[in-house]
Structure 1
Amino acid sequence: MSPLVRTRLNEVYASIADSPAKPANRPLRTWKHRTTIAATAAAVLGIAVFASGFVSPVMAQSIRSIPLIGTIFDSVGQEFGIQRAVDSGMYSTADSTVSYQDIRLNVTETVFDRERALFTLQVSSPYLKDGILSSGGEDIELKNAVHNFNLKINGKVVGESGFYFGGGEEHPNTLILEQPLDSASVSSLPDSVKGELTVMLEGIDHEFKLDVPLTKSEKDIVHLNPKQTLTNDSLSFTLSEVDVTPITTNVKYSLSALGKTKLSDDEASALMNHRVAVYDDKGNLLQGLNGEGMLENNEKGNKTDSQYSFASAQQRPAYLIFKLFTTDDHDAFPYTTIKDSQFIDGMSIKVDIPSK
């Protein structure tokens, strides 16, 4: 299964040493584009069986078993998290449409847990054919054509650094928009809300705004505060929070270099090149989705606070293992393979996941 090409955080981290002096707090964010290849053949037909709201697991499986009928998420869901959303019926159908001149956008499906929201966005236009959009006198692949997008709920942006990727060969005129969420902003929301999705396409001076109903899944959500700290001669590693949904596993942790206060640029870059890999109880490396980190570095001390999201394990694990490792300058998140030599001895934390 080919991984989604997610981010290149290391390119940002590696640039620290070459950058002029900056304020102590340095936010490090992810790109807004990634690509994928469709894994299976499935098409969505305009059939009344797709009612709004969650599709039951039995109905979802029945629908998927019918030739040429299935959710778009099923077609592009190469990661376990999206696959589990489809298998368990944890996606919702929608029919939100907006048009401007000759371009029409339509959100047809959503997935929404406390950690991220995903949307299937179908694009139609006389200038769009087989995934190629003629815009501003140039031809651009639709999977590269999003200039920007954001999600608002109750008038407030609920996440930053969103991502998008194309629907693959089976759905060349469809985009998948993925918005990591600020869990503090959505934790108090009711189960069903309306979100305002704003999309801007390259070469088109217009904001497309769609009102999209979102149904929050509360199935099997686990919030843990391990607050476990490990140290060695030079490093302190604290695992502070772990959120696990059937779709997404979110991890918050911090690092600091011991025996030092303010770090040089080289030392700061080296500290930021430490990352966390997550393994399930069967030894599977969870697929990385996105992440960001912030370095606080001044005369009072140094500390990194990082938050990373991973696709949840295919089956609910009895425990997860969080291993600290070092990256090479040219490694790119989400690290599909990690060499044994990259792991730091003694920096491994096991966290039990409560049973259902």
Structure 2
Amino acid sequence: MGHLPRQTDFVDMGAIEQMRSKSSLPKNSNSMSYQIMNKIGESPMTRTTSKRKPNLIKRTIMVASATAVLGAAVIGTGFISPAMADSLKKVPMFGTLYEGTSEKSVQAAIQQGIVSEPNLSVTHDGITLSVADLLYDGDRLSFILDREGVDLPNTASPYIDEDSKIIGNPDSEYIKSRMVPEKDQKKGYIKTPTILANGQKVDFSEGSFGDYPMKDNAYSVELSKGLKLPDKFELTIQANVTGVKEAFEFKIPVSIDNKALVLKPKDATKSDGQFSYTVKEMKVSPVSTRLVLDSKGKVPTSPEQKGDYSASMVYYEIVDDQGNVLNPSRFEYFNSKPKTEYHIDQLFSPFNETPKTITIKPFTLTVNQKDWSVVGQGKNSVGDKTYLKDLELTIPVK
């Protein structure tokens, strides 16, 4: 988020075992940290709305790395072939948001150089890595590495580097099982890539990296916050593979026609006397919508949210002037009562077309404080929503 996060951003153990990692990192961090701790108090449990069933195990692990980034190259045509449109579904983040996205938005993404298929490949010692789909919209970067030449259940390396800093119990079975000497590691796993822009390491504050669940033998990187890159630069991806001495290096020219709409509305504050929030900024691009806001005060409660049940933190829905609701890129749950101050910096799906107005609809979930379960939460629902209609805010788009 806007300020640097606390020391960790937690993800559930099931996701880690699938090597689908989420990280929030201080800038210029130099090492990978593996942290195992019991989740007590106010640490978030990230549950996605993907096909994988949410894992409610409260014991969590965080895998953090400071060297993962991506970019996107130029595509020289505005024509959308069926193959290209289908490939967009596989791009990290954009793929999950593609359903319902208009052809006009896809067209704009291609014309502006935001998405591309560079199809660059490097082969070392019988293993081939290819840069498949890339996405860069000036605010967020993503890419996929395809792997060939080895048959392994996962693509991301499960091993802990010898120079890694271990925080927690270094004698835990989980840690010891991954402290494998380099000479004994299975060949073919992709280590966390090093990413450069014009020869310099790229800083970021939040991102994800690891196996791409929608495609076999694919490794994805998604950097979603803290990027400060120009619209035109040379992207370098340096990836190492276990059991292979030579690094896999890709150099890709990145150039976008950045036409993102940036809204910084004046007087965009709503309050009920105890709780208030202010929209600081909204960024609208063909592939995403970013909402940045600050909130302060005690969260409003409904009659159902009493006794063993309480209100969650306040979440926010984005709705266009046609009533279309944007999907959040991920949805977080917390095993604690809400705080009185939040800074929200969240990505949502793109608008089908630029709306005349944007409405922010705050809501809460009802949480059982005994086990922090959410009333109504299931495979196709984040939970039963209690909308705070008095706090709805409509922003005109000029």
TM-score (normalizing by structure 1): 0.63
Within 5 A, what are the aligned runs for 1:80-159? 80=98, 86-88=106-108, 89=110, 90=113, 91-125=115-149, 127-128=150-151, 148-149=192-193, 151-153=195-197, 154-159=200-205
Q: Quick one: distance in 2 between partners of 1:257 and 1:288? A: 24
Instruction: Quote the Cα distance in structure 2 between the aligned partners of 1:152 and 1:56.
Output: 27
Residue in 1 that maps onto 2:217:
173
Q: Is the 8 A contact 1:253 1:307 kept in 2?
A: yes
Tell me the alpha carbon deviations over residues 33-83 of structure 1, each in whole angstroms, 9 at most, x when there is no partner: 99679xxxxxxxxxxxxxx722432x2x2x32xxx6766224563423697
- 1:98-136 CA-to-partner distances (Å, cap 9, x unmatched) read 4454432211332211221222321112x237x766989
Q: Aligned residue for 2:168?
A: none
1:72 aligns with 2:93: no
Q: Is the CA contact (8 Å cut-off) linking 1:105 and 1:124 kept in structure 2?
A: yes
SS in structure 1 opposite 2:88? Answer: helix
Query: Compared with structure 1, are the counterparts of its residues 83 and 208 closer, same or farther at alpha carbon in structure 2 (3 Å cutoff)?
Result: farther
Gaps of 5+ in 2: 1-8, 14-21, 23-37, 53-72, 159-183, 300-309, 334-338, 368-372
**Residue 322 (1) aligns with residue 360 (2):** yes
Deviations 1:175-218 (A, max 9, x none): 443221425x12xx1x3212233556789899755433322341
The answer for the alignment partner of 2:40 in structure 1 is: 19
Give, in whole Å, the separation in 1 of the partners of 2:378 and 2:130.
Answer: 30
**Among 157, 160, 163, the residue aligned to 2:206:** 160
TM-score, normalised on structure 2?
0.57
**Alpha-carbon separation, structure 2, partners of 1:207 and 1:333:** 44
Change (3 A) 1:135 1:326: closer
Amino acid at match of 1:54: I
Amino acid at match of 1:79: L
Give the whole-Å Cα distance in 1 for the aligned partners of 2:361 and 2:185: 46
% same residue: 15
2:275 is aligned with what amino acid?
A: L
Assess, with a 3 A threshold, how the Cα gap between structure 1 residues 78 and 275 changes in structure 2: closer, same or farther. closer
Matches within 5 A, 1:218-257: 218-257=258-297
**Kept in 1: contact 2:132–2:143 (CA 8 A):** yes
- Per-residue CA deviations over 1:209-263 (Å, capped at 9, x if unaligned) read 543332234135333344522222431212111111111111111122259xxxx
Whether the 8 Å CA contact 1:10–1:273 is kept in 2: the answer is no
Instruction: Determine which structure has the larger strand proportion and give its number.
Output: 1
Find the residue that maps to 1:72 and give its secondary structure.
helix
Residue 306 of structure 1 is matched in structure 2 by 344
Following superposition, the deviation at residue 313 of structure 1 comes to: 1.6
1:196 match = 236
- The structure-2 alpha-carbon separation of the partners of 1:28 and 1:196, relative to structure 1 and needing over 3 Å to count, comes to farther
| CA RMSD of superposed structures (Å) | 4.9
Q: Larger % of helix: which?
A: 1
* Partners of 1:84 and 1:247 within 8 A in 2: no
Contact map agreement 2:321 2:357 (CA 8 A) in 1:
yes
Evaluate the alpha carbon distance shift between residue 312 and residue 282 of structure 1 in structure 2; reply closer, same or farther with a 3 A threshold: same
